[in-house]
């Protein structure tokens, strides 16, 4: 049986008259990369903050690495890494000094120079943090989140401000951590990031989970109709079909070979996501 790193049942949280989280059930397996997606105000940040132990819930049961995060222990905190969306940094220290300083807080820390290299800051290791660009400071945040070699890592919009090369380095680091058995909970607005990294995805809208599954099959994506497009008589033609192979064969016979500018596409993760959050929002406001 797969061990669970996170178990949530009936999670609820209100802010005055606003129901931010309205009865979420969630289970995240040990060693998997799990992405939580949703628009601003959907309840995903509140959910993650409760899991991290930063916010108290109103109702429900929560277990994170076997502990209720509302009653954390020092040992539990050493097993959890967190990269917040915004973080206060040690601006007067160098990158190397900062990472080495934080490494001293953990009983089984990773090598600081290795972590600095993984986030693409080797050339800036001797620079003061205050001298870094916004994207480079974000890389320091990621380094501090992983330096403790956590069993469970929370990442809140971790690659905001990263250039393409830095994002690729970050993805490689996440793959290394996952390969070593680290459980990763990721919130991101970059759907390509979720698709590249996540084993499973949950979409939150209106304080509830409206879909959960593998990125390739989320929301019926794998069985959704394909869009076949081609050029005929100087016009672009389109057809949505559940049997794209048959349609392409019919077109091939019609054109006696090569079909002009033929494309076959299925809904992207973004297409499915936008449909899900729209449906979740409508369900929330319906009488």
Q: State the pTM of this model.
A: 0.80
- pLDDT digits over 13-39, tens only? 999 999 999 999 999 999 999 999 998
Tens digits of residue pLDDT in 90-125? 678 999 999 999 999 998 899 999 999 988 899 999
Same domain, 214 and 231: no
Residue 282 has pLDDT above 80, yes or no: no
Instruction: Report the domain count for the chain.
Output: 2
**Domain co-membership, 45 together with 86:** yes
List the domain range (segments joined by +) for residue 250. Answer: 225-265
276 assigned to some structural domain: no
Q: Are 19 and 44 in contact (CB under 8 A)?
A: no
Instruction: Check whether residue 129 and residue 154 sit in a common domain.
Output: yes
Q: Does a structural domain hold residue 286?
A: no
Residues 135 and 253 in one domain: no
Q: Is residue 271 part of a domain?
A: no
Q: 65 and 38 in contact (C-beta within 8 Å)?
A: no
Percentage of the residues of the chain whose pLDDT score is greater than 70 = 94
- Given a contact cutoff of 8 angstroms between Cβ atoms, the answer to whether 29 and 1 are in contact is no
124 and 252 in a single domain? The answer is: no
Query: 């100087």: which residue's tokens?
Result: 234
How is 226-284 classified by DSSP, letter by letter?
EEEEEEETTEEEEEEES-HHHHHHHHHHHTTSPPTT-EEE---HHHHHHHHHHHHHHHH
Beta-strand relationship, 183-187 and 208-213 = unpaired
């Amino acid at each position: 049986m797969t061990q669970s790193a996170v178990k949530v049942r009936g999670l609820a949280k209100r802010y005055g008259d606003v129901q931010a989280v309205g009865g979420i059930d969630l289970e995240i397996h040990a060693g998997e990369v799990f992405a939580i997606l949703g628009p601003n105000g959907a309840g995903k940040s509140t959910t993650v903050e409760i899991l991290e132990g930063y916010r108290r819930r109103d109702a429900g049961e929560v277990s994170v690495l076997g502990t209720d995060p509302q009653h954390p222990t020092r040992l539990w905190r050493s097993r959890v890494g967190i990269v917040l969306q915004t973080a206060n940094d040690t601006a007067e220290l160098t990158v190397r000094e900062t990472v080495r300083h934080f490494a001293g807080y953990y009983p089984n820390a990773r090598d600081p120079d290795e972590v600095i290299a993984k986030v693409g800051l080797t050339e800036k290791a001797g620079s003061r943090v205050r001298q870094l660009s916004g994207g480079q400071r974000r890389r320091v945040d990621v380094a501090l989140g992983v330096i403790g070699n956590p069993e469970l890592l929370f990442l809140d919009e971790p690659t905001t401000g990263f250039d393409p090369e830095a994002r690729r380095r970050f993805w490689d680091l996440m793959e290394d951590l996952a390969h070593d058995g680290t459980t990763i909970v990721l919130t991101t607005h970059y759907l390509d990031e979720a698709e590249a990294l996540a084993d499973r995805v949950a979409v939150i809208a209106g304080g509830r989970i409206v879909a959960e599954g593998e990125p390739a099959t989320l929301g019926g994506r794998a069985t959704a109709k394909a869009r076949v497009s081609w050029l005929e008589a100087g016009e672009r033609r389109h057809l949505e079909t559940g049997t794209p192979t048959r349609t392409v064969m019919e077109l091939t016979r019609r054109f006696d070979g090569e079909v002009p500018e033929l494309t076959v596409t299925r809904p992207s993760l973004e297409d499915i996501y936008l449909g899900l959050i729209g449906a979740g929002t409508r369900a929330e406001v319906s009488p």
